[in-house]
Amino acid sequence: MSVSLTESAAKHVQNFITKRGKGVGLRLGVKTSGCSGMAYKLEFADEVASDDLTFESHGVTLLVDPKSLPYINGMELDYTREGLNEGFKFNNPNVKDQCGCGESFKV
Q: Under the criterion CB under 8 A, does residue 96 sit at the interface with another protein?
A: no
Q: Under the criterion CB under 8 A, does residue 107 sit at the interface with another protein?
A: no
Dist. CA 54–CA 61, nearest whole Å: 7
Dist. CA 35–CA 52, nearest whole Å: 27
Amino acid at 64: V
Q: Under the criterion CB under 8 A, does residue 89 sit at the interface with another protein?
A: yes
Distance of CA 6 to the CA centre of its chain: 11
Q: How far is the CB of 52 from another protein (least distance, A)?
A: 12
Q: Under the criterion CB under 8 A, does residue 59 sit at the interface with another protein?
A: no
Q: Under the criterion CB under 8 A, does residue 20 sit at the interface with another protein?
A: yes
